[in-house]
């Protein structure tokens, strides 16, 4: 450490002691962080990567199309139908692969939309702290008071269950949670002097939201994104299981569980048949667990909690 | 008790701290010898290792720090060899600690008296009843109002100065041999500070307790300590009995701690007023008036200092001028034009011509923006500069505040306190304002850094002709840079006038109290003041 003096011994502000972090490129930083990741996080990232890979290349990986009907219904596991066929004679293995694309795609789109709505309204409420905050917050309270799955079922039966409606309805319902979180963490930042300084400068609402506040609340929001994705994913699966989610012939894990659920009772005769409905259920569970592992690690990284040395 | 008994011996103590992936030396071999009943003042600027050393005297290293050498012996016990449980037993019974922010150290959900006696009772030193009686006795010793009942209150029901005294009572309740005071009066007003200092000094004298008093204010430590140790970068700079240190500091660094008190500003000629605040009333919500018929005139190109204790309406006046808190009645007249009361009704050029610098440079800069972004934004926003032109101007401003290009891509966390405040000044200058409001801009800084900032502000005023409104509670700063002084008390202006006029008798009662409460560099000052006020 150097002392704040110039060569001729005078005081110099530029030479005051400070700790400057080494500048690293994004890739270097990423690698440094990844090296310290625990095995659970590695496992989670690997699983997520695999799922994304499958979702992206579904048409190349799947032996058949998701809607292609073969003459033999409930075919057993074989070389042609790896996991057999379902009640209509569609290849379960192909539908499982396409299901990754459909379910994950819709869940990601829904989560993004939920964050766009909830995040921007939450920020606006936190900055304005006036009637707008009151109106939005009380409206969100009302929405949250209604059990969301039942509310979603109701809305879907009113508006019809298209993929678009599904995305919009779940996004709005989940945006309430995002709104609450964003508002709460933004309130801590809004009181900072630099936000006041920006207001004094005459900056507009959007600039304050995007440049002053958003960068400072990203860590909790990113973590929430992961968790929210899991909930959305589960909600979609649940709705599909109930028959109001993603509609056939589009393949989806939730509806696959429902369609093949009856096969479980044949476990004593053919174990593989009983496994057929379990596999999409396991796929849902595995992804949820994987995302949670990664979110846990990320939260630990950004929380500032340090392992004691 | 034999007062020559050595209570605490620290030999060549070394502590390392972990940050940015490396271990750094924080304390580089410091010796301390403390006798029973003796008070040692530890003084130095922030980052000097004062608090770390204070905690080390308790055998404790903060998370992220570790002892790497030396020995700490407390009354024959080697603290570094003790287990955590044994240390815990010692803390709160024989060694106690008084933290800077009492408000943050009390549990808001429990009554004061229960928190005062908690450690004593849990260590089994006394039972509930006798501990409570003793606490009341301590409250009396500390000159707290209503000592019999004040313990039944909750922390939010007493003032900051009272809370700090209750915390001292908490530390004293087990009659420890050693108390560590870590900047106990830094967060208090000068008028309150005097009461707390008096009470603390009396109680450690009464029970013959040894103490380590940590502060960055030399004048305060001079009242409290028998001897003073000056620390810098984790090393001892100078070590001497208080009177010797005050009258004859040996090292250049120790002499520089007097620095701010040596700046002088010559009287300025009369000029027209750039800003006039006339009959302004303001309040938060609908209840209490925070400003009550405030009238202030600000002469162009000069510095006007607004002084007063916290809650006197200094900062609220600033908020009214900037439009953050529109006044209920009254006008703010800038350059002969009445400014719209609310911020959102003001034009860009009106906003541009009044800029503000904050007390805490840490929170005044977005931690996610680089210096380039921070200074560049007003250039872009007000002057429309982009790209190279903007960079060039940012560089000019950096040179103006005595920093260089190497700071362009740094984040606020990579700047020292003084550098941060300089960047804030550059940000204000970037708008090319006529008036800058400085809200306690030096109060969070160390003496030598304060001096640098004040000199910079004075130089900028000479070169650019900027007007400053300087809000502060530090009279030494006012003496250094103000032309005019406004004294505020409970939302009212007590008096306004030239510095010479205000600082010479006769004073109104409040000005007298305020001025006499400012600690002076004289070890006898507190004693004399006590006698004067008692008589």
Q: What is the mean pLDDT of residues B47-53?
A: 83
d(CA A61, CA A78): 17
Rounded to a whole number of angstroms, the distance between the first and last alpha carbons of chain A is 23
From B259, which residue of chain A is nearest by alpha-carbon distance? A11
Closest Cα in chain A, distance from residue B406 (Å): 9
CA distance A154 to A166: 12
CB contact under 8 A, B18 and A23: no
Cβ-based contacts of A5 with chain B (< 8 Å): none
CA distance A48 to A37: 15
Distance CA A309, CA B11 (A): 24
User: According to the per-residue pLDDT averaged within each range, which of B230-234, B249-253, B260-264 is highest?
Assistant: B230-234
Determine which of B24, B368, B395 to mutate to test the interface with A (most A C-beta atoms within 10 Å): B368
Whether B47 and A17 lie within 8 Å, measured CB to CB? yes
Task: Note the helical H segments in chain A.
Answer: 26-35, 39-56, 58-61, 92-128, 131-145, 148-159, 163-190, 193-201, 205-207, 214-241, 253-260, 271-302
User: Which pTM does this prediction carry?
Assistant: 0.79
Residues from chain B contacting residue A20 (CB–CB below 8 Å): 410, 414
Average pLDDT along chain A: 84
Q: For strand B210-215 and strand B178-182, is the pairing parallel, antiparallel, or unpaired?
A: parallel
Side by side, the strands of the sheet bearing B22-35 are B22-35, B6-19, B65-74, B77-78
* CA–CA gap between residue A95 and residue A112 (Å, rounded): 25
* Record: contact A3-B233, CB cut-off 8 A: yes
Name the residue in chain B with its Cα closest to that of A32. Answer: B21
CA–CA min distance B53, chain A (Å): 19
Contacts of B351 in chain A (CB under 8 A): 200-202
CB contacts < 8 Å between A and B, how many?
93
d(CA B330, CA B320) in angstroms, rounded, equals 10
Contacts of A211 in chain B (CB under 8 A): 366, 369
Q: Does the CA dihedral A146-A152-A153-A157 come out positive or negative?
A: positive
Across the range A285-301, mean pLDDT stands at: 88
Tokens of B142: 């500390």
Do residues B218 and B187 make contact, with C-beta atoms less than 8 angstroms apart? no
Q: Both tokens of residue A81?
A: 């139908």
Residue A2, pLDDT score: 38
**Contact check, Cβ <8 Å, A216/B409:** no
Return the top range by mean pLDDT from A127-131, A167-171, B70-74, B266-270: A167-171
Distance CA B333, CA B339 (A): 6
Are the Cβ atoms of A201 and B343 closer than 8 angstroms? Answer: no
The SS3 of residue A220 is helix
**Which residues on adjacent β-strands are paired with residue B19?**
B22
Is B402–A14 a contact, with Cβ atoms under 8 angstroms apart?
yes
When mean pLDDT is compared across A169-178, A227-236, B3-12, B177-186, the lowest value belongs to: B3-12
Q: What is the ipTM of this complex?
A: 0.77
Q: Which residue among A18, A197, A200 places its CB closest to the CB of B414?
A: A18
B/e letters for A260-287, b = 16+ CB within 10 Å, e = fewer, are beebeeeeeeeeebbbbbbbbbebbeeb
Contact B57, B8 (CB under 8 A): yes
**Once rounded to an integer, what is the mean pLDDT over residues A275-279?**
85
> For A51-77, what is the mean pLDDT?
83
Count other C-beta atoms under 10 Å from residue B465's C-beta: 11
Say which range, A47-61, B56-70, B253-267, B356-370, has the weakest mean pLDDT. Answer: B253-267
H or E element at residue B9: strand B6-19
Asked if residue B75 has pLDDT above 70, the reply is yes
> For B302-333, how does the pLDDT look when each residue is reduced to its tens digit (9 = 90+)?
999 998 887 788 888 998 999 888 888 889 99
Closest CA to B402 of A96, A11, A297: A11
The DSSP output letter for B7 is E
* CA quadruple B93, B98, B99, B105: dihedral sign: positive
- Determine the residue among B285, B345, B366, B450 to mutate to test chain A binding: the one whose Cβ has the most chain A Cβ atoms within 10 Å: B366
pLDDT-based confidence at residue B180 (cuts at 50, 70, 90): very high
Categorize the per-residue pLDDT at B92 as very low, low, confident or very high, splitting at 50, 70 and 90.
confident
Closest chain B residue to A193, measured at CA? B364
Closest-CA residue to B302 (of B332, B269, B324): B269
Task: State the average pLDDT for chain B.
Answer: 86
Peptide bond into A249 cis (omega under 30): yes
User: Given B24, B323, B364, which is nearest A197 (Cβ)?
Assistant: B364
Residues 2..21 of A with a Cβ closer than 8 Å to B: which? 3, 11-14, 16-21
Residues in chain B: 535
| Per-residue pLDDT at A7 | 44
pLDDT attached to residue A4:
46
The three-state secondary structure class of B473 is coil
Q: Exposed (0-12), middle (13-18) or buried (19+): which is B127, by Cβ within 10 Å?
A: exposed
Residue-level pLDDT at A141: 94
Choose the mutation target among A1, A3, A10, A18 for the interface with B, i.e. most B CBs under 10 Å: A18
Per the CB < 8 Å rule, is B348 touching A12?
Answer: no
Contact criterion met (CB < 8 Å) for A216 and B415: no
Q: Give yes or no for a contact between B260 and B291, defined as CB atoms under 8 angstroms apart.
A: no
Residue B530 and residue A64: Cα distance in Å, rounded?
95
| CB–CB contact A193 B360 (8 Å) | yes
The dihedral through the CA atoms of B338, B344, B347, B349 has a sign that is positive
Please tell me if residue A27 touches chain B, with a CB cutoff of 8 Å: no
Contacts of A112 (CB under 8 A, 6+ apart): none
Give the model confidence (pLDDT) of B437-472 as tens digits.
Answer: 998 888 777 777 888 888 899 989 988 889 999 998
Specify the pLDDT at position A304: 57
What is the band of A9 on the pLDDT scale with cuts at 50, 70, 90? very low
- What is chain A's length? 309
Would you state the pLDDT for residue A6? 45
Question: How far does Cα A191 stand from its chain's mean position?
Answer: 29
Chain A's closest residue to B406, CA to CA, is: A14
Higher-pLDDT residue of A109 and B440 is A109
Q: Residue A157: name the closest of A233, A243, A238, A244 by CA.
A: A244
pLDDT, residue A16, reads 65
CB proximity under 8 Å: A 246-305 to B: none
Helix (H, G, I), strand (E, B) or coil at B20: coil
pLDDT in tens, B122-152: 888 888 899 999 999 999 888 888 888 888 9
Chain B residues close to A217, C-beta within 8 Å: none
The β-bridge relationship of strands B329-334 and B273-283 is antiparallel
A17 to B418: CB separation less than 8 angstroms, yes or no:
no
């Amino acid at each position: 450490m150097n002392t704040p003096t110039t060569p001729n011994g005078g005081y110099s502000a530029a030479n005051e002691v400070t700790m400057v972090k080494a500048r690293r490129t994004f890739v270097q930083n990423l690698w440094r962080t990844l090296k310290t990741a625990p095995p659970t996080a590695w496992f989670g990232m690997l699983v997520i990567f695999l799922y994304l890979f499958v979702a992206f290349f579904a048409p190349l990986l799947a032996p058949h199309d998701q809607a292609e009907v073969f003459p033999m219904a409930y075919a057993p596991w074989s070389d042609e139908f790896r996991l057999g066929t379902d009640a209509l004679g569609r290849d379960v293995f192909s539908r499982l692969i396409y299901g990754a694309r459909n379910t994950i795609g819709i869940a990601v789109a829904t989560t993004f939309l939920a964050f766009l709505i909830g995040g921007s309204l939450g920020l606006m409420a936190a900055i304005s702290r006036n009637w707008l905050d009151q109106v939005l917050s009380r409206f969100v309270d009302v929405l949250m008071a209604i059990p969301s799955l039942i509310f979603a079922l109701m809305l879907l039966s009113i508006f019809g269950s298209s993929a678009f409606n599904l995305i919009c309805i779940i996004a709005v319902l989940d945006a309430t949670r995002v709104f609450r979180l964003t508002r709460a963490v933004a309130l801590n930042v809004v009181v900072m002097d630099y936000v006041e300084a920006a207001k004094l400068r005459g900056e507009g609402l959007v600039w304050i939201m995007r440049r002053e506040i958003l960068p400072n609340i990203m860590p909790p929001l990113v973590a929430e994104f992961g968790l929210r994705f899991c909930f959305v994913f589960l909600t979609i699966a649940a709705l599909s299981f109930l028959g109001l989610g993603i509609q056939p012939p589009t393949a989806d894990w939730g509806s696959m569980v429902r369609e093949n659920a009856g096969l479980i009772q044949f476990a004593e005769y053919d174990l593989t048949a009983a496994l057929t409905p379990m596999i999409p259920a396991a796929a849902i569970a595995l992804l949820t667990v994987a995302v949670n592992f990664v979110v846990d690690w990320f939260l630990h990284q950004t929380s500032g909690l340090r392992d004691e040395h | 008790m034999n007062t020559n008994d050595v209570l605490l011996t620290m030999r060549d103590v070394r502590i390392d701290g972990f940050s940015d992936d490396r271990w750094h030396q924080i304390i580089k071999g410091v010796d301390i010898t403390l006798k029973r009943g003796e008070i040692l003042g530890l003084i130095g600027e922030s980052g000097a290792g004062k608090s770390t050393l204070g905690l080390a005297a308790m055998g404790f290293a903060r998370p992220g720090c570790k002892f790497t050498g030396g020995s700490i012996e407390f009354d024959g016990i080697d603290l570094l060899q003790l287990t955590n449980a044994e240390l815990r037993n010692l803390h709160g019974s024989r060694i106690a600690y008084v933290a800077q922010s009492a408000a943050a150290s009390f549990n808001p959900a429990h009554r004061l008296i229960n928190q005062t006696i908690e450690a004593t009772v849990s260590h089994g030193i006394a039972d509930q009843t006798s501990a409570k009686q003793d606490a009341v006795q301590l409250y009396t010793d500390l000159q707290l109002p209503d000592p019999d009942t004040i313990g039944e209150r909750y922390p939010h029901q007493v003032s900051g100065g009272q809370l700090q005294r209750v915390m001292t009572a908490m530390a004293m309740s087990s009659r420890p041999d050693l108390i560590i005071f870590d900047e106990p009066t830094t967060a208090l007003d000068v008028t309150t500070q005097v009461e707390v200092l008096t009470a603390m000094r009396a109680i450690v004298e009464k029970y013959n307790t040894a103490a380590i008093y940590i502060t960055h204010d030399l004048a305060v430590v001079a009242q409290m300590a028998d001897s003073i140790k000056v620390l810098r970068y984790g090393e001892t700079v100078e070590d001497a009995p208080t009177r010797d240190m005050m009258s004859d500091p040996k090292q250049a660094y120790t002499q520089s701690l007097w620095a701010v008190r040596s700046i002088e500003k010559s009287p300025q000629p009369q000029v027209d007023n750039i800003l006039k605040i006339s009959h302004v009333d303001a309040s938060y919500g609908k209840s209490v008036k925070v400003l009550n018929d405030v009238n202030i005139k600000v002469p162009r190109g000069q510095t006007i200092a607004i002084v007063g204790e916290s809650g006197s309406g200094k900062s609220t006046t600033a908020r009214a001028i900037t439009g953050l808190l529109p006044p209920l009645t009254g006008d703010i007249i800038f350059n002969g034009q009445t400014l719209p009361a609310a911020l959102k009704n003001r034009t860009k050029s009106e906003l541009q011509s009044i800029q503000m610098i904050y007390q805490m440079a840490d929170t005044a800069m977005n931690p996610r923006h680089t210096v380039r972004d921070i200074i560049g934004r007003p250039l872009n926003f007000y002057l429309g500069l982009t790209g190279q032109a903007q960079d060039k101007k940012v560089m000019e401003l950096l040179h103006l505040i005595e920093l260089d290009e190497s700071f362009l891509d740094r984040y606020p966390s990579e700047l020292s306190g003084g550098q941060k405040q300089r960047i804030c000044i550059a940000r204000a200058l970037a708008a090319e304002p006529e008036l800058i409001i400085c809200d306690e801009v030096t109060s969070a800084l160390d003496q030598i850094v304060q001096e640098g900032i004040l000199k910079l502000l004075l130089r900028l005023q000479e070169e650019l002709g900027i007007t400053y409104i300087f809000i502060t509670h530090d009279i030494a700063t006012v003496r250094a840079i103000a032309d005019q002084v406004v004294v505020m008390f409970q939302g009212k202006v007590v008096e306004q006038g030239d510095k010479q006029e205000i600082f010479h008798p006769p004073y109104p009662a409040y000005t007298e109290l305020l001025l006499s409460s400012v600690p002076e560099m004289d070890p006898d000052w507190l004693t004399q003041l006590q006698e004067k006020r008692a008589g």
